[in-house]
């Protein structure tokens, strides 16, 4: 059961309530990384503290926070453990979808979120995935319900979820359905093998003759072409993760340098914390964390206007998409450089495996490959030079894959 709220929550109130939770999560981050211990307990704590219901309207028992407030907290959580915001990425998007639906059915799901329901995803498939349509099928049954069959990959957060958003083909139409995570025929596998973000549970999910009630059909649009707020929103979760990584990298490096009594024979000072070259590295790290955070919050401000009053203001979607694309290019370059440069403050001892300082670069590099930045840079250039539309998340649904393309995850 989460903390139920009755009035809009201020940043100070959020910090007071969630700050201690983040601190406890941060204390165990290195051990979890070392032992590949999934983040079930931290997510349970966040659920109990109301984090997973922050965007649920106040009248439904949630926090009623703005997107700027939400993403400020996502950054703080990512600084504690960057795996967790990514694991909850589709959850917060699902909450936003139901908030924007503004229907009795949507409000019931928002109340379920207040009561503790967490949502994961099973959208992407091995091979060409949604570009050529989904191999996962939803078949209507005589009783009005459906039967679900298929295999999904990159099912981020599903091992932590109570419900799973699944994209499937229903008689040639791309649709979404909501499936109980523990339903008969659902198999969730922790086989994500990336070198970063190792605890996001981004593995395989298999659905074998899973019964899906008729009221779990979310509707069309999962893979259909057209503009959507989801592109910028989902990208911003990843950028908030990068901003949090930059902050934790700064904090960890400052703590390491402060405690350091050994230096080099040719160093500029007897203690590394007094060395002006080391001070410059710390200054650049801090600047990277600050600028990444401000970029994320700037995009959140645009999204707040785009999604105001539980309504998608479609005329603002291009502005939100462009803002997120610009931020993506800036934040990725800034954070990747910072998480590499932090090692300049020390000798061989700073690469001690017990410190796990390499996790910051590995996690940042992994987040950065989502929706590759080179494609966003090209899209911005095409927009400015030729007036081309920006590529929204589901534009791939309008493309036809080449027949000689290899099938890859």
Domain chopping of the chain, boundaries = 11-118, 122-220, 229-386
Check: CB of residue 186 under 8 Å from CB of residue 205: yes
10-residue mean pLDDT profile of the chain (409 residues): values are 58 96 98 96 98 97 97 98 98 96 95 98 75 85 95 95 95 92 97 95 97 91 78 96 98 94 70 90 98 98 97 96 97 98 92 95 96 92 95 53 45
Provide the pLDDT for residue 408: 45
- Spatial separation of the C-alpha atoms in residues 6 and 29, rounded to whole Å: 32
- Spatial separation of the C-alpha atoms in residues 234 and 176, rounded to whole Å: 17
Provide the pLDDT for residue 273: 86
What is the separation of C-alpha 86 from the centre of its chain, rounded to a whole number of angstroms? 3
- Spatial separation of the C-alpha atoms in residues 396 and 371, rounded to whole Å: 12
Distances (CA, A) of 258 to 28, 253, 273, 278, 290: 21, 9, 6, 11, 21
For the domain spanning 229-386, the CATH number is 1.20.140.10
**Residue 128 tokens, joined:** 């060409």
Residue with tokens 């050994």: 262
Number of Cβ within a 10 Å radius of residue 365: 19
Question: Strands, E, within 47-190: which ranges?
Answer: 119-122, 137-140, 146-152, 163-170, 173-180, 186-189
Distances (CA, A) of 15 to 12, 58, 66, 116, 271: 5, 18, 15, 20, 35
Distances (CA, A) of 262 to 142, 249, 349: 75, 21, 10
Those residues with Cβ within 8 angstroms of residue 232's Cβ, 6 or more apart along the chain or in another chain: 299, 302, 303, 320, 321, 323, 324, 325
Provide the pLDDT for residue 371: 83
Provide the pLDDT for residue 269: 64
Pick the CATH number of 122-220 from 2.102.10.10, 2.20.25.90, 2.40.110.10, 3.40.47.10: 2.40.110.10
Burial letters for 84-97: b for 16+ Cβ neighbours within 10 Å, e otherwise?
Answer: bbbbbbbbbbbbbb
Distances (CA, A) of 87 to 198, 202, 205: 10, 8, 15
Helix (H) or strand (E) holding 77: helix 67-80
CATH 1.10.10.60 fits domain 11-118: no
**Residue 296 tokens, joined:** 């994320």
Residue with tokens 């070259």: 277
Those residues with Cβ within 8 angstroms of residue 402's Cβ, 6 or more apart along the chain or in another chain: none
Provide the pLDDT for residue 7: 61
**Residue 9 tokens, joined:** 């929550």
């Amino acid at each position: 059961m989460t903390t139920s709220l009755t009035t809009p929550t201020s940043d100070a109130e959020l910090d007071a309530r969630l700050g201690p939770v983040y601190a406890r999560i941060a204390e165990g981050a290195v051990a979890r990384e070392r032992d590949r211990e999934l983040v079930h307990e931290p997510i349970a704590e966040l659920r109990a503290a109301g984090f997973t219901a922050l965007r649920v309207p106040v009248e439904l028992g949630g926090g009623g926070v703005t997107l700027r407030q939400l993403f400020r907290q996502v950054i703080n959580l990512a600084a504690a453990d960057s795996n967790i915001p990514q694991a909850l990425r589709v959850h917060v998007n699902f909450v936003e979808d139901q908030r924007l639906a503004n229907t009795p059915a949507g409000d019931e799901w928002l109340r379920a979120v207040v009561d503790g329901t967490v949502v994961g995803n099973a959208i992407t498939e091995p091979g060409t995935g949604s570009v050529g349509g989904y191999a996962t099928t939803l078949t209507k049954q005589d009783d009005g319900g459906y039967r679900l069959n298929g295999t999904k990959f990159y099912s981020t957060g599903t091992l932590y979820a109570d419900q799973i958003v699944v994209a499937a083909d229903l008689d040639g139409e791309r649709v979404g359905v909501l499936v109980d995570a523990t339903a008969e025929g659902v198999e969730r596998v922790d086989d994500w093998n990336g070198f970063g973000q190792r605890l996001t549970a981004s593995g395989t999910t298999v659905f074998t003759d899973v019964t899906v009630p008729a009221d779990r059909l979310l509707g069309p649009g999962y893979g259909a072409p057209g503009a959507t707020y989801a592109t910028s929103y989902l990208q911003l979760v990843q950028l908030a993760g990068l901003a949090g990584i930059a902050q934790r990298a700064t904090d960890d490096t400052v703590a390491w340098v402060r405690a350091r009594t050994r230096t080099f024979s040719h160093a500029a000072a007897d203690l590394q914390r007094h060395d002006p070259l080391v001070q410059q590295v710390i200054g650049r790290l801090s600047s990277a964390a600050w600028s990444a955070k401000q970029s994320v919050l700037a995009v959140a401000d645009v999204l707040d206007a785009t999604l105001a009053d539980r309504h998608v203001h479609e005329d603002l979607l291009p502005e939100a998409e462009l803002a997120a694309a610009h931020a993506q290019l800036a934040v990725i370059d800034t954070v990747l450089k910072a998480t590499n440069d932090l090692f300049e403050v020390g000798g061989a001892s700073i690469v001690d495996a017990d410190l796990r300082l390499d996790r910051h670069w590995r996690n940042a590099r992994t987040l950065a490959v989502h929706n590759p930045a080179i494609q966003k840079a090209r899209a911005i250039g095409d927009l400015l030079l030729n007036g081309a539309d920006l590529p929204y998340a589901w534009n791939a649904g309008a493309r036809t894959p080449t027949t000689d393309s290899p099938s890859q995850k």
